[in-house]
Each structure stands twice: as structure tokens, then as C-alpha cells.
Structure 1
Amino acid sequence: MRQVADVPAMDGRHHEAMTTMTLPFTIRDATPTDFPRLAELLSATWPDAITTAEGLAEEDRERDPTCHIERFVTEQDGVIHGLAVIEQAPGMYHPRKFIAWLRVHPDFEGRGVGSALYAELERRLGALNALSYISFTREDHVGGMRFLARRGFTEKMRYFESRLDVAAFDFTAWHDVVPNVEANGFEIKAWADFPDDAAHRRKFYELFAELREDVPRPEPATPVSYEQWTKWVFESPYFIPEANFIAVDTRTDTWAGYSALWRPDAGEYLSTGLTGVHRAYRRNKLALAMKLRAIRHAKDRGVPEIRTNNETNNRPMLSINEALGYVKQPAWVDFVKVLREE
């Protein structure tokens, strides 16, 4: 545990210039007993994406044990002001490359918390002999964008979150899409329609493993094991068997595409996960048909909103979402900082 006091502030959503209001606090490692307070902090920083203590625990349960994770906080008299995280992603794993980010509770911005967490974050990354790390913020968080730019980060990628008003969605213009797809030899089926046995799970995994290779990401894709994928999917409380859709070529029984809806940690919406179609089967409107089935699923169950994320240069998927009426939100921005050459 490190004692910190009177650290000049250079962070903050609204108060970046406030360098005189400083706090005495300690920096210590976080533990699972902190999850309720961390959930409160994370929810306060991005209130349209609520985090729960249960969600943080589930995140740890689903984590690949080969990937590094550490969390540390600033605290004074039992009050947690900020959180920083250093982690690795199993889907783009490199032993010396990390994802590292920090959050400061809005009530304590501009009081040295972010600068202190950042200094500790860089110290720990140095101890890990890190080559580089990715951090991120949203483009409408002006203070966060400046915070990263002033510390030597360069922009890597942008992602739009887009949201669909399900209640307002009108199927009239799209009524013939799924029937036409089916007439051309395809069927859109939910995972719940298949036997839940080892052979079908393996086929599902092979579909996922191939489709994810085409997903834009800030670092090269690395394999995800069948065991890890099973933990993410079948053991997850967010998995919806009736809302994981698979496009099947009925002539060959080939699984040609996939799109899924997932429950969020909290909130009245569903999130779109991986959506993809095998290259050989593109231009058959399979992605559109699967998305329409997903919208029907949400509408029939009274879900008011669907959210999805797409890299800003992924025009084929963005075009489908735009045509369906998804509304873009401010983009999330990935930044990278190189600490040493590989």
C-alpha cells in the first residue's frame, strides 16, 4: 500500500484545469470484497452502462486463467475514489502487451486521483516489462481524450455503439427478407433448436472460431480454446439459447453464419455479440436475416432496445444497421502507447 498526497491533477471529465484541490489517499490492490463499491464507481462514470458486483465476479469467473489481471484503487477513510486495471485479452494475447485503463468517480475528478493512478499503472507495467498497452475512452469524454493524448498515446481504432428502438421498429419493409433467404436454401435457426450435445457444441465453436478471424481488433487475433469458449457461452448467465442465431445451408448442412443477442449486466436492453457470415456465403442477406430474427426475438419479449458495436470502417455491417434504424452513439476510441520496441 502506497501513501499518496497532493498529486497535481490532469484528469477529469469536466475539471481538467483544477490542480489545486488535492486529496490525501492510499493506493492499494483491490479485492472481491471491493466489488460493490467498484460497481458503484463504474456505474457513476458511465451511467448508461450499469455495472454490478455480480457482473464483476462473473467477469473474473469467465477470465482465461493464463491472462494477467490486476486491479488497484485509491482510497481514503473507506471511500474509493478511482480504479485502475491492467489485463490481457485471450482473443489477442501477447505475453508483454496489455490493456490498461482507469476510472475516477465524478465526485473526485480534478483532485489528483487520475494522475496518481496513471503513475502507478505505468510503474506496474514497467515491472511487467510491457512492450505496449491499449487504453480507451469515449470521444465525448473531452478530459479523457486529452488525458491520453498528453501522455503519448496514439489513436488506434474507433467503434460506434449503435442503438435500436425496438418498440418503434416496423417489420413491414422487411417482411420478405427471411422468406427469400429460406427460399434460396437457407434456414435461420436458434441454438435452442439444436440438440445440446458435444457434437453440436463443437460445430458451434468451429463456426465461432472461423468467423471471429474477420473481426477488426487493435492487435492480431489469437486462438480461443474450446474450453474457454464454453465458459464464455454455456456457463454464462448472459447467454440466451433462443437468441443465438445460426444460418444453415440446408443443402449441405453447413453452418454459414452467426449472430447473437446477450443479456447485459444490468439494464432494459440486449446486446449484439459476434455477427458474421462465412466469406463463401456472403451477399445472400444472411446477416440481415439473422438480425431481423434477433429484432423479432426482442420485440416479442418487450425488450425496448438493442445495442451493438462496430468498428467505424466496417461499412458492410454499419450499412445494415443504418438501414434497420440503429442510431450511432459517440464512438469509443482505442489508444495505444508503446513503451519499448519489440
Structure 2
Amino acid sequence: MAMIVRDFEARDAAAVVAVRRAALPFEVVTEASLRFTAERANPAERYRLLVAEREGEVVGAANCGLAFESPEPGRAHTTPYVVPGHRRRGVGTALLRAAEEHLTAHGATEVYCWALEGSGGPEFAARHGYRPARSAHFQSLDLTASPLPELPEALPPAVELHTAAAWQGDPRPLFTADAQVTADEPSDVGAELDDYEDWLTRTWRHPLFDRELSTVATVGGEIAAFTAARTDGRTRYFTGMTGTLRGHRGRGLARLVKTDSLRRARAAGYTEAFTSNDGANEPMLAVNRRLGYEVRATEVRHVRAFG
């Protein structure tokens, strides 16, 4: 059967969502979020969303782009997703090669990709010259059955809880907080957030970002910690980032903001909560264990050098 790899079109959104959910059931993705990412990508990323089509059916997809926020030039990312029934039939290879050609043509010297353990992903990556780097753990929490911790009857001195919507008029303080915790996040591809307008476009206005369910803790009126929620508007909730600013760590604020957000998500009718943490981020993994999350799968980031 003939197969083609081509660029994503808006009409592919439903099919690509189905591919992503079949290949990686622990994330939150919608048709609107796919279209948004493809349309609003920063030009410096050289972002492409590729689809593999066989006999008119979309059977795989791969996003790829330059890690333009990394302080080290030449780094890039891609991850192929293939419907389980079509694996080991050349779909992933075709997507990966198309992505690599695009990235190296725009200066990539190292390409990183994620591979889910137990899916054949790490073996696929090894066959294509990628070596394992660091791991991350997907965790989930059943909001319909799992008990959630109670919020304390009294918050610590000078601590107040808000939703991200409280900064609707001026989100810049949230950008500043996000930039600090992102710089400290464990990763083999670091990021420096220094473009406020780009952050407004791709983070603050992202269709999955739920300002009402994202919780922010302030101390003396200044942002000290936050958790950013992403939702599909129906049942699925994902913690995109939870961070505590330097000088406020070790006080339980990360657990506090996550508890508040989860409780409000459950009250809003969300039934499944997901998150992902770097395998070396033991403080956040411990917070999630105390909240009732369980590890469901591990993915390993792989890297291949070019040039």
C-alpha cells in the first residue's frame, strides 16, 4: 500500500488527535490545540507537523522544530507517533527521516526525540542511531475515585491563593515567574524565556491553558508559586508546569497550589488528571505521590548527533 508523508492540514486535526491519543494516552490534545500550534509557532522554531497517510488514512504524525529557546544553538526536537496497528511497517521511519531532513536543513546538529517504554519506541530510536538520555514519568489520578488532600484551614502567613485569571489585565508577572522556574527545570535541552510577546501568544493564549483552574500563590502580594493547568474542556486535565520561585522553596507551596487546582478541577467536572515529571525531579515526584498520582508509563528522551 502506498504511503505519503506530507504537511499537516486543518482537515487532518481529528485524525491526528486520534493518532496521538492512541500512541500516547497520557496527554491532553485537541483539534483546536493542534491547529493553534501549527498556526502560531514562532518562526524561529521552523515548526512542522507532518502526517503519514496510507490509502487515504492518517496512520502517523510527527511534530518537529528547532529548540530556539535553548541557550545552546543547533538543538532540535521531533517525536513520531504511529497508530499501534501500523507499527513496524515503515511509517515511523518515514516520518523520522522527513523530520530529520527538515531540521538539519535549518542548522540542527542534535535532534532529540521521546520514546515510550513498552511500545517499541526505545528499540526504534536505537535502530535509527539515537542514544538514550534522560527519562520522564507520566502519572495519572482518577478524580472520580481518588481522595484529594484537604486545603489547610488557614494558609501560612502572608500566603494567598488566586487563579491565573486574576492577572488577566497584566500577565507579565506570570511570565516573569514562568521564566525563572523554566530556567531551573531539569532538562537536557534547557530553555530561556525572554520574549514576552511570544509567551503571550503561545502560552497565555493557548487554547488548552485554563486560567480559571491554574492556581497562583502569592506571598506578601508577590508571586511565589504556581501550577499551570491545561484542559480539553471536557474530562481531561493536565498539569503543564508547577513551579516555586527561588527563595520560597521548601515551604510546601507547590503542593498547596496543586491541591487547590485539583480540587477545583474535580468540582468543575474533570475526571482524569495527568502530569509528567523528569525522572530526576524527585521533589515534584514526591509531591505528586502525596496527592495520589501513580506512575503509568515512562518515556526516555533520546538524542542523535548530526554533522
Q: Smaller-chain TM-score range?
A: 0.7 to 0.9
The aligned counterpart of 1:98 is: 76
Cα deviation code 1:181-238 (max 9, x no counterpart): x24221122233x36323xx22222122112211112212222411121123442332
Q: Identify which of 59, 81, 94 aligns with 2:37.
A: 59
Q: Deviation per CA, 1:96-146, whole angstroms, max 9, x where unpaired?
A: 3211222333333232333333344444444334211001121121x2211
Residue 127 of structure 2 aligns with which residue?
150
Moved runs in structure 1, 4+ residues, more than 6 A?
A: none
Is residue 259 from structure 1 mapped to residue 227 from structure 2 by the alignment?
yes
Query: Structure 1 residues 183, 145: CA separation in 2 closer, same or farther (over 3 Å shift)?
Result: closer
| Structure 1 residues 110 and 298: alpha-carbon distance in aligned structure 2, compared to 1, 3 A threshold | same
TM-score (norm 2): 0.88
Is residue 78–residue 96 contact of structure 2 (8 Å, CA) maintained in 1? no
SS of 1:274's partner is: strand
SS state at 1:329 partner? strand
Q: 2:65 touches 2:76 (CA, 8 Å); kept in 1?
A: yes
User: 1:285: which partner in 2?
Assistant: 252
Aligned residue in 1 for 2:195: 225
CA contact (8 A) 2:67 2:75 kept: no
Q: Distance in 2 between matches of 1:255 and 1:48?
A: 29
**1:44 to partner: Cα distance:** 3.3
Match of 1:204 among 156, 174, 185: 174
SS in 2 for 1:229: helix
Q: Report the CA distance shift for 1:315/1:45 in structure 2 as closer, same or farther (over 3 A).
A: closer
Secondary structure (helix, strand or coil) at the match of 1:279 reads: coil
Worse-matched range after superposition: 276-285 or 327-336? 276-285
CA-atom RMSD in angstroms: 2.5
Deviates more, 1:31-40 or 1:151-160: 31-40
Gap change, CA 1:185 and 1:29, over 3 Å in 2: closer
Partner of 1:189: 162
For the 8 Å contact 1:40–1:52, the answer to whether it is kept is no
Query: What is the CA-CA distance between 1:28 and the residue it aligns to?
Result: 3.5
Distance 1:239-1:336 versus aligned 2 partners, 3 A rule: same
Q: Could you say what secondary structure the match of 1:281 adopts? A: coil
Deviation at 1:92, TM superposition (A): 2.8
Letter in 1 for 2:266: K
Q: Distance in 2 between matches of 1:72 and 1:242?
A: 33
Gap change, CA 1:207 and 1:195, over 3 Å in 2: closer
Whether the aligned pair in 2 keeps the contact of 1:90 and 1:222 (CA below 8 Å) is no
Equivalent in the alignment of 1:133: 111
The question of whether the paired residues in 1 share the 8 Å contact of 2:182 and 2:193 is answered with no
What residue identity is the alignment partner of 2:164? Answer: W
Task: Pick one of 303, 309, 324 that aligns with 2:276.
Answer: 309
Task: Give the 3 Å change call, closer, same or farther, for CA 98–284 of structure 1 in structure 2.
Answer: same
Residues 1:83 and 2:71 are matched in the alignment: no
- Cα distance in structure 1, aligned partners of 2:88 and 2:129: 20
| Match among 26, 32, 47 for residue 69 of structure 1 | 47
User: Structure 1 stretches of 5 or more lacking a match?
Assistant: 1-22
1:276–1:287 Cα contact (<8 Å) kept: yes
Secondary structure of 1:330's aligned partner: strand
Distance 1:259 1:62 in 2: 23
* Contact map agreement 1:42 1:50 (CA 8 A) in 2: no
Post-superposition CA distance 1:243-288 (Å, at most 9, x none): 22111113xx221111122213x76221112111122112221111
Change (3 A) 1:281 1:115: closer
Amino acid at match of 1:43: R
For 2:24, which of 26, 34, 46 is the aligned residue?
46
When structure 1 is superposed on structure 2, of 90-99 and 226-235 the one drifting more is 90-99
SS in 2 for 1:230: helix
Q: 1:245 to 1:121 in 2, by over 3 A?
A: closer
1:237–1:214 distance in 2 versus 1, CA, 3 Å: same
Partner of 2:213: 243
Q: Aligned to 1:178, which of 152, 156, 160?
A: 152
Aligned length: 307
Q: Percent identity, aligned pairs only? A: 25
> Whole-Å Cα distance in 2 between the matches of residues 213 and 273 of structure 1?
15
